[in-house]
Amino acid sequence: MRRLRNVKIVATLGPASNDYQMIRALFEAGADVFRLNMSHGSHEEIRERHAIIRQIEADTERPIAILADLQGPKLRCGVFAGDSEELLEGQKFRFDLDETPGDASRVCLPHQEIFQALKPGSTLLVNDGKIRVSVDACGEDFADCTVVVGGTISNRKGVNVPDVVLPVAALSEKDRRDLEFVCDLGVDWLALSFVQRPEDVLEARELAQERAAILSKIEKPAAVDAFAEILRVSDGIMVARGDLGVELPVHAVPPIQKRLIRGCRAAAKPVIVATQMLESMIESPVPTRAEVSDVAAAIYEGTDAVMLSAESAAGDFPIEAVTTMHNVAVEIESDPTYRSVIEASRGASHRGVAGGIVAAAREIAETADIKAICCFTHSGTTASLTARERPRVPIIALTPFAETARRLSLQWGVNCYLSGDVDRFKMAVVSAARAARKGEFASEGDQIVVTAGVPFNVPGTTNILRVAPCDERLIFTADPE
């Protein structure tokens, strides 16, 4: 089941995709990573979906990554005596800590930390930004506001505070319970919501204790401002365009997306572009032309993965949505313009021996008749550095660790295979040739590039490169020991 594309597809599971047959069909249609949304579903439902994915992995003999997406704190207003009120432009409105049901002049906002951070001139957004108010005066338990954009406000609608850093932890008590549950269950990636600063990521990393890689969701203006520091302490990034488009002007999101993708590629860390990619396919078997162009733009920009949310979790056409995304990726990657764009954005500097080795591997592969670059990796770093090069030939990552193979399933262009422990470079070459032949990347008479580190089984020692043949004589006469 070799994929005929490099960009990866993340599919969210939910009520429309919660049994073996459907999840297997999504995998065969092109899903590489399955997202478990901790905002929906009980722990028992999450456990069942996790078990199904691992069964499919065993049945297909292909590593599959599982991404658990933590909900994050939810900031919501209180309730109204009449369930809802209409706010008019220019009128005065108060948020406070009084739990009495609200009316047309006020409502409870049960988050004292918001009042602690507000200042005159701050903006509050209600109901996904449909209502906008400006703070005139505020204190420890109130905020007097003027309605800038009116609309209907109703019970427990979400509240966003775009222009201040809130003294709110990225992990709620629910998130802490969910994190422990999914780490014990055995997920590969943790997506962290409500990230505002690098300390939020470090807190999650300490709790995860290396049981899962940490992927930071960039969905707040504060996270955009602190992106370099957040990226440094994260294992990957998600461009969560939904909340970004609420808290920032919508026209600011595309350049931010492009900048975040380039930053992740320079750091050799995977990045997912998410939210509303094929939104209309929740109810339609075909997407809009604009949605197809949106997916294509992310692929042209060099993203590692594109994501489906409700389209695969709760939509009427989950398989069609994955198939469409797969077909768009195949078409874009076969376009000569894609290659020229990707290569023009390649960084010129390669720091360290490992960076130089993978750059040389890509250079050799593209100037000689090479069928694949095969890299042995323990931690996944060598494969990630190779993926950063965006070579024209397939990348084969060989590792003795299932956890590493699964995490690399999110990385651009990486095809993962489990190998036994290798202690000699000769057997590394033999294992690489076998994987290339098995995956139909190469055949008799073809050549591959093999990179590895000596001494073996020591992470971070990539220091050797060889061009090797895929001859049957080499493969089948090698000493298995």
Question: How far is residue 153's CA from residue 61's CA, in Å, rounded to a whole number?
Answer: 51
Q: Of 217, 362, 371, 388, which one is the catalytic site residue?
A: 217
Region at 102 (left for phi over 0; alpha for psi -120 to 50; beta for the rest): beta
Residue 145's beta-bridge partner residues?
A: 93, 135
Which amino acid makes up residue 149?
V
Backbone angles phi, psi at 138, to 5 degrees: -155, 160
- Alpha-carbon distances of 133 from 81, 137, 148, 228, rounded to whole Å: 21, 12, 5, 31
* Nearest residue to 368 (alpha-carbon basis) of 446, 425, 441: 446
Active site residue 106: no
Token digits of residue 475: 């493969």
Contacting residues for 139 by C-beta, under 8 A, at least 6 apart: 115
Residue 9's beta-bridge partner residues?
A: 306
Active site residue 35: yes
Question: How far is residue 219's CA from residue 260's CA, in Å, rounded to a whole number?
Answer: 12
Q: Of 3, 74, 76, 176, which one is the catalytic site residue?
A: 76
Omega prior to 255 cis, within 30 of 0: no
Which amino acid makes up residue 416?
C
Question: How far is residue 403's CA from residue 467's CA, in Å, rounded to a whole number?
Answer: 28
Active site residue 76: yes
Q: Of 123, 275, 303, 381, which one is the catalytic site residue?
A: 275
Q: Of 5, 35, 220, 407, which one is the catalytic site residue?
A: 35
Question: How far is residue 409's CA from residue 197's CA, in Å, rounded to a whole number?
Answer: 27
DSSP 68-112: EE------B---BTTSEEEE-TT-EEEEES--S-B-SSEEE---H
- Give the three-state DSSP class for 318: helix
Q: Catalytic residue positions? A: 35, 76, 217, 275
